[in-house]
Amino acid sequence: MTGGAGFIGSHLCDSLLSHGATVDVLDNFSTGFAQNLPTKVRTLWKEDVAAPPALPPYDLIFHLACPASPPRYQADPVATFRTAVFGTVAMLEEARKHRSRILIASTSEIYGDPLEHPQKETYWGHVNPVGLRSCYDEGKRAAETIATDYRRKYGIDLRIVRIFNTYGPRMDPFDGRVVSNFIRQALSGEPLTIYGDGSQSRSFCYVSDLVEGILRAGRVVRLPDPLNLGNPGEFTIALLADLLEEVVGHPLKREHRPLPEDDPRRRRPDITRAHELLGWSPEVSLRAGITRTIENFLERKPWGGGSGA
């Protein structure tokens, strides 16, 4: 697994190990944390996914490596694009060479600031190719392109999953995402930072639900086209702030700031295909997931310098 020390990757490692799989991880820890990794991981390569070491054959490659939070991927946009594209090519070469099945983690960001709502897999997106977010958005779109061409040319066994907003234990408190921002600020007595008027919407999927969807996508006999994985429940940012206030049990101050460039106004997955092909749909409610995530943040406090510990 590439990116196995990251938030989603580490939970996927846990689930694979619990099912008796042998798991090796390649991660350069640019955004992941060693303490996220389960002790039962067999081998850890601390390497750049775009220039990996010699790897043995694998039955299944989960390719998750790439910075995913806006502050992290915008910090070095060239490295982000390089990881998204060249890292994907490197893993596709491994899959071609060893005839491995490969699952590539794409993103809802390929839809950009969507003009279609909810977003189906057939929607081509509305993306600014030269904006601050384009290193990630276009990097992931290019990764989908080259992966699909590898399947056409070499016949590799490919699966692409488009991951929508995901949250849960082990999130980096300083990753800049709205759930981690809100929880860290609430627990630190700071005002919640709301960009714009809070009317923009997101759909939040708890990490255990997402991992189950990824596992099913990896196991299914054939998955010919990209597949949305996310929770279709849609909440405005203002409603998320209200819910967090209810869960923590006291009023929370709010501080409004201008919307970032190209910030999507609405985001909601159509998961009809995931339900039909995988028999999958999310089960954890936002209230229950936020409660569990707050408990995990409290267990890890103080966070200290952005550590994911």
Over residues 130-141, the pLDDT tens digits come to: 999 999 999 999
Is 159 strand, coil or helix? strand
pLDDT, tens digit, 9 for 90 and up, residues 78-93: 999 999 999 999 999 9
Between the two ends of the chain, the Cα-to-Cα distance in Å is: 20
This prediction has a pTM of 0.95
Domains annotated for the chain, with CATH where assigned, are 7-300 (3.40.50.720)
Query: What is the structure's pLDDT at 308?
Result: 46
pLDDT, tens digit, 9 for 90 and up, residues 145-157: 999 999 999 999 9
Which pair of structure tokens corresponds to residue 5? 């020390």
Using CA atoms, how far apart are residues 207 and 188, in angstroms rounded to an integer? 24
Asked whether the bond before 302 is cis by omega within 30 degrees of 0, the reply is yes
Residue 304 predicted with pLDDT over 70: no
Number of Cβ within 10 Å of residue 249's Cβ equals: 6
- In the chain, how long is the greatest CA-to-CA distance? 58
Residue 306 predicted with pLDDT over 50: no
Query: What is the structure's pLDDT at 309?
Result: 40
For residue 124, CA distances in Å to 105, 108, 111, 176, 190 come to: 17, 11, 7, 27, 39
Q: Are 156 and 88 in contact (CB under 8 A)?
A: no
Handedness of CA 36, 40, 45, 49 (dihedral sign): negative
Q: Where do the DSSP E strands lie in the chain?
A: 24-26, 43-45, 60-63, 101-107, 157-163, 166-167, 192-195, 201-202, 205-206, 227-229, 235-236, 254-257
Give yes or no: 154 in active site: no
Q: Which of 111, 136, 150, 167 is catalytic?
A: 136
